[in-house]
Amino acid sequence: MRSKYFFFTAVVVILLGLLIYLISSNGGRTYTWNEHYKELSKGPYGLAVVFQLLKTQAKTEKFTLLKKRVQKALPTEPTEKSNYVFVGAGQFLDSADVQTLLTFVYNGNDAFIATQVLPFRLMAKLYPKTCKEDKWENLNYYQDRGVEANFLHPDLRQKKPFDFTYRTTDPDSIYDWHFFDRGYFCDDPDGFVALGQLNGSKTNFVRIRYGIGHFYLHSNPLFFTNLFMINQRGKQYAEAALGHLPAGPVYWDCTSKVNRAVAENMNADGQGRRRRDFNRPSPLSYILSQPPLAWAWYTLLGTTLLYFLVRIKRRQRIIPVLPTNKNNSLAFIRTIGRLYFLQNNHRQLVLQKMKLFLQFVRDRYKIQTRELQEEFVDQLSVKSEIKVERIQKILDLYRAIDFSPEIQERILADFHQQIESFYKNCK
């Protein structure tokens, strides 16, 4: 029974997994409008086009997809000048990741990071202390349906700005377009250098020197998604932005991505200003933002639900083991027989011994004892292998005693011997 439950549970888990897969992949026929920024996704907000563009420009042998954390996969001193690229809604870097990336850039390499939430640990190291704002906070944003973007360098600046319009299933939705506050800019040579703007006034693309390398920070990763890259103008903008990186190997970071809410919560923790905000998603958002962790979470929920469904099913109570029935009538007859023997009541003692004999025949040979006639004698003789004459003698003595009011001790002894001889020799 238990093996059947396990089999049933395994089948349902597999079906549940297939259902989740079909829902998440939309059957391979339609695309989700979520901003997931997946490298191989061809959906509107995937990165398949820009990913393939960089891969082609860097050549296959010089393009590396970081499948482990930055601290373990990014070389701090590559053999030639290289580039680190990250595009996502939010970025999570722990202290070891930050130190690895800083060393990578300090040694003469470049990093391009396009995200709505720059990691606080990284910006605490990059942001110059001499600027007007005494510490780094977060990127600012304003809400609108669409935005115009352009570059500041004369060779890249377009007479007609690049248009970016947010699209989703809701035609009335607006979008948060992020930019760098003016207070983050100052005359410090090691500070931010503006490279691009939104609507002609809000800086969204900057460069900052670190060591002998550079960080290129872009506040609108949406610009690099497939929705805009399939358009000639959108592709032109992405090529110009990424063109700030020098030629060389590319290290694409796909492990540091988290959604915007999780990244903002992490920054709030790092800045020591985390507050209870019921509008923020729970920490479970990070798990759900990572496909392997999300699958593990859904599988855990599914198996837990199935376990409870199986356990709450009505279970039959334990059936107690009943003792075997005891035939107390024989013990009673023996007790009465001893009582008659002590009272010298020979006739009643013979009758009791006859009851024991007939009970023995019924139990052992399954023969009816209501009528002790010739048929009974023949059946008993065949089954017990005792001669008919000896059985008939027992019955004759019994009938004689039954009709006599009193019997002598000699007759009792003879009847007893005949009975005991039957017990000893019967089969």
- Over residues 133-155, the pLDDT tens digits come to 567 788 999 999 999 999 999 99
72 pLDDT more than 70: yes
d(C-alpha 112, C-alpha 241), whole Å: 9
The separation between the first and the last C-alpha atoms of the chain, rounded to the nearest angstrom, is 45
| Residue 168 and residue 33 in contact, taking contact as beta carbons nearer than 8 Å | yes
Residues 6+ apart with CB under 8 A from 271: 120, 137
Q: Where are the domains of the chain?
A: 1-30+299-313, 31-281, 328-425
The more confident residue out of 11 and 275 is 11
Q: What is the pLDDT of residues 365-376, one digit of tens each?
A: 888 888 888 888
Window from 23-37, 150-164, 267-281, 291-305 with minimum mean pLDDT = 267-281
Structure-block tokens of residue 254: 């796909």
Tell me the three state secondary structure of residue 108.
coil
User: Do β-strands 193-198 and 146-151 pair in parallel, antiparallel, or remain unpaired?
Assistant: antiparallel
Q: Higher confidence at residue 326 or residue 46? A: 46
Spatial distance between the Cα atoms of 124 and 138, rounded to a whole number of angstroms: 11
Query: Which residue is listed with tokens 């998603």?
Result: 281
DSSP classification of residue 251:
E
The yes-or-no verdict on residue 256 having pLDDT over 70 is yes
Residues of the chain above pLDDT 70, percent: 78
How far is it, in rounded angstroms, from Cα 410 to Cα 408?
A: 5
Count of CB atoms within 10 A of residue 279's CB? Answer: 5
Residue type, 88: G
Q: What does pLDDT average to over the chain?
A: 82
Ramachandran angles phi, psi of 376, nearest 5° = -60, -45
Q: Is the pLDDT of residue 122 over 80?
A: yes
Dist. CA 54–CA 56, nearest whole Å:
5
- Are 121 and 288 contacting, i.e. CB atoms less than 8 angstroms apart? no
Q: How far is C-alpha 153 from the geometric centre of its chain's CA atoms?
A: 51
- Rounded to a whole number, what is the largest CA-CA distance in the chain? 145
Confidence of residue 183 (pLDDT cuts 50, 70, 90): confident
pLDDT confidence band for 403 (50 / 70 / 90): confident
Q: Match 């013979």 to its residue by tokens.
A: 350
pTM of the model: 0.61
Say what angle helices 2-25 and 291-311 make with each other, to 10 degrees: 140
Of 175, 165, 169, nearest in space to 228 by CA: 165
* pLDDT per residue as tens digits for the range 260-280: 988 888 888 766 655 444 444
| Neighbouring-strand partners of residue 253 | 66
Candidates 213, 216, 188; CA nearest to 203 is 216
